[in-house]
Amino acid sequence: MELLKKTHREFGVYAICSEGDKLLVINKSRGPYIHGLIFRVEALKREFTEETGLTAKIKEQIGVQDFIFPCEWKEFSHVHHIAVFYLVERTGGELAEPEQFDGQDSSGAEWISKEEVTAENSSPLVVKAMEWLRNREIDMETQHFETWEIQNSKSE
């Protein structure tokens, strides 16, 4: 029970947007998942546009995935992140650098191929999105990570 007392819970909604064999990925300048922001479905399209410059329509909810990983933040030792994934379709716009302001955690977006995504250079959310693109399934099992550190992200 001690772990439960030290676990911070976060909930977020995430867009999966692909074109051909490429996945649109937003590069984050901070993390992981502890900004206190809770994005609801009604904010998904607005956030998508703000962070990418693109517009999109939500096609369907495709699944939910839990991630638990160590993260020293405030009095917490772990984060339990519940992620709801939505398939979105690009409707317009061009990739653009997001406006920077206090609290902005996006440093831009890019299209990446499945060959570029590894557990070493991508967040568990990106890995899960790419898995969904490959087999159209989201595993219902909670994903536990003993450690989580991105070694070779493109934004470094």
Assign 3-class secondary structure to the chain. Answer: CHHHHCEEEEEEEEEECEECCEEEEEEECCCCCCCCCCCCHHHHHHHHHHHHCEEEEEEEEEEEEEEEEEEEECCEEEEEEEEEEEEEEEEEECCCCCCCCCCCCEEEEEEEEHHHCCCCCCCHHHHHHHHHHHHCCCCCCCEECCCCCCCCCCCC
Q: Find the mean pLDDT for residues 40-54.
A: 86
Whether pLDDT at 118 is above 70: yes
Q: Find the mean pLDDT for residues 100-127.
A: 82
User: Residue 69 and residue 57: Cα distance in Å, rounded?
Assistant: 31
- 149 in any annotated domain: no
Residue 4 has what pLDDT? 53
Q: Give the structural domain span for 83.
A: 2-144
- pLDDT band, residue 30 (cuts 50/70/90): low
**What is the tens place of the pLDDT at every residue in 80-110?**
989 999 999 999 999 988 777 776 667 778 8
**What is the tens place of the pLDDT at every residue in 55-79?**
999 999 999 999 998 887 788 888 8
Burial level of 148, CB count in 10 A (0-12/13-18/19+)? middle
Q: Mean pLDDT over all residues of the chain?
A: 81
In the chain, the number of structural domains is 1
- 155 in any annotated domain: no
- 130 in any annotated domain: yes
Six-digit token string for 121: 């250079």
- 56 in any annotated domain: yes
- 138 in any annotated domain: yes
Amino acid at 131: E
- Global pTM reads 0.81
- 63 in any annotated domain: yes
With a pLDDT cut of 70, the percent of the chain lying above it is 83
User: What CATH number is associated with residue 7?
Assistant: 3.90.79.10
- 74 in any annotated domain: yes
Residue 145 has what pLDDT? 86
**What is the tens place of the pLDDT at every residue in 3-16?**
456 888 888 889 99
- 51 in any annotated domain: yes
Higher pLDDT, 120 or 16: 16
Q: Find the mean pLDDT for residues 121-146.
A: 88
